[in-house]
Amino acid sequence: MQLILILLVTLFASFTHTLVGFGSALVTMPILAKLLGVQVAAPLAALIVPTIEFILFVRYREAFNLRVVWRLIASAMVGIPLGVWSLRQVNERIILTILGVVLIVYALYGFLKLKLPELEHSSWAYGFGFIAGLLNGAYNTSGPPIIIYGNCRRWSPDEFKANLQGFFTVTGLWVIVNHAFNGNLTPFVWQHYLLSWIAIALGIWLGLKLDQYIAQATFRKIVLAMLIILGAMMLL
């Protein structure tokens, strides 16, 4: 039953990420954390999520602009080891609470469609990237800071998808290295990751097939509502 639940979560995560361009970590991490515990869920999600992101990066690679995201990547590389280190040092209840707050705040931000101020200077990327790295190392949820930064920099839709996937792919590999260095990639994690490939492939295939039939705005609202529920579950 546990394996079936992991595969279903992975399937929905890859389907969601394919449709809206992000969200695989926001879907997988809270559910897997409840199911397996944070110290197992984090390295498992760290393998699953970059796999999804790399496949989609190949699809959108032509719009990727390294000059725009290298500052984000560089600063995230500094934050990621600190995030991974915190998994063994910080109480799991605190981690789940922080994750729940991140999910709820991000979902409310998406629902309210806040008009954020434009950031004219690229130096802001260092701060956003570092925070994203911390969240990525600990909870695999680097998306919210990078999405907010992209909105503030007024990225086009194609730039948005390509730059997000490029950032997630590169930093995701560094997260995996740090989990390996800390001994978190256990046989259990590897076994379930390899089995999840079936769900990843099916989710991406369904997402690409149904993309033209599903209203992305409506689907995005459903995902945001789900994130609020998941966030509330983390706080209980």
Could you read off the pLDDT tens digit of each residue along the chain, which spans 236 residues? 888 999 999 999 999 888 877 778 878 888 898 889 888 999 999 999 999 988 888 887 887 888 889 999 999 999 999 989 987 787 878 877 887 888 788 888 878 877 767 877 888 999 999 989 988 888 887 878 888 888 788 887 778 778 888 898 899 999 999 999 999 999 999 999 999 999 999 999 998 888 777 776 776 777 778 778 877 877 87
The pTM (predicted TM-score) of the whole model is 0.81
Distances (CA, A) of 72 to 76, 109, 170: 6, 21, 11
At how many degrees (to 10) do helices 66-89 and 124-139 cross?
A: 40
User: Residue 164 and residue 161: Cα distance in Å, rounded?
Assistant: 5
Map out the domains of the chain as residue ranges.
2-235
Distance, CA of 224 to chain centre = 14
Nearest Cα to Cα of residue 122 among 83, 170, 53, 66: 66
